[in-house]
Amino acid sequence: MAKPHLAITPALKRQLALWLDEDMGRGDLSAACLGTNAVQAHWVAKADGVFAGGVLAAPLFRQLDDEVHVRQLVADGEPVRCGERLLELAGSAAALVGAERTALNLAMRLSGIATATAALVAQLEGSGVQLADTRKTTPGLRTLEKYAVRCGGGLNHRRGLDDAAMLKENHLAWAGGMEAAVTAVRAQAPWPSQLIIEAETAGEAAAAINAGADGVLLDEFSPEELAELVPQLRRLAQQRGSKVMLEASGIQPHQLSLYRDTGIDLISTSAPVTRSPWLDLSMRFSGKEG
């Protein structure tokens, strides 16, 4: 698996500053007892899991002190054991205490998502079926939550409504049918994009391929139904000279392994983001510098 990457863009730095300001408010009242001491600290995992969010530590702590040094011991996307050191910090006590909660909150949230994703990906290991996320993300956290999914070995699907056109039941009904909806989207899309159509029956899936869909979202089909339907859809796409991505959704997380051999390309699920608990992490004082 390629190492997950998160770009620390100006926009992300501004967002980090807003989250830090939410916690700092008018100022850290506890900082008065810290003086100008330079100290050392480290993060430690308090449970087994997959680490994510360490790359945010340096840009967060340096909002308060640009001389804070951060050394990441465990890369994002790597498994960790309870008690393992994750990163080391050195800098002013006021900066380390001031940004501690915001940095840990983000890392615990993202590590929880990465851990949950890795557990689901493990159910599909060796099958060729990929696990994809959805647009069910926390407003303001989409970039980071989707990064955490990558850290757990998952695939980012649509980043937003501008990535691909996905036509669901309401689109098709309000547009006057599948053919009308597809024609309108193809004619008016301002840039090249994929077109995905949701299907709840075998007939709808075949109609989607005949309408020229690039992908078909097969919603709430059983493993047995998909095992029979997928080869038919592959043949239909081949007859049309097209290649169609077949995606399954509406699957309970604990049942993913039942879909390993159905022939689908990917399973999309919101579970790692919407159902995962945080991974418990903490920051511990190591001593004064010098």
Choose the catalytic residue: 46, 101, 240, 284.
101
Q: Which of 76, 100, 145, 198 is catalytic?
A: 198
**Annotated catalytic residue 3:** no
Angle at 126 between CA 81 and CA 111, to 5 degrees: 30
Q: 150 catalytic, yes or no?
A: no
Q: Which of 168, 200, 214, 228 is catalytic?
A: 168
In sequence order, the 6+-apart residues with CB closer than 8 A to the CB of 76 are 4, 6, 51, 52, 53, 54, 55, 114, 151
Q: Which DSSP state fits 165?
A: E
Calculate ∠ Cα 148-132-45, nearest 5°: 25
219 is catalytic: yes
Residue 228: partners with Cβ closer than 8 Å, 6 or more residues away = none
Q: Which of these is catalytic: 71, 81, 136, 288?
A: 136
Name the helix (H) or strand (E) containing 108.
Answer: helix 93-123
214 is catalytic: no
d(CA 53, CA 50): 10
What single letter denotes the amino acid at residue 39?
Answer: V
Residues contacting 42, CB < 8 A, separation 6+: 85, 86, 87, 88, 89, 283, 284, 286
Could you give the C-alpha distances from 231 to 60, 219, 227, 265, in angstroms and in order?
50, 17, 7, 12
CA distance 215 to 62: 44
**Which residue reads 């998952």 in tokens?**
154
Structure tokens that stand for 249 in this block: 């959704």
> For 172, phi and psi rounded to 5 degrees?
-65, -40
Would residue 163 show up in a list of annotated catalytic residues for this protein?
no
Q: Which residue out of 100, 145, 219, 247 is catalytically annotated? A: 219
**Residues with active-site annotation:** 101, 136, 168, 198, 219
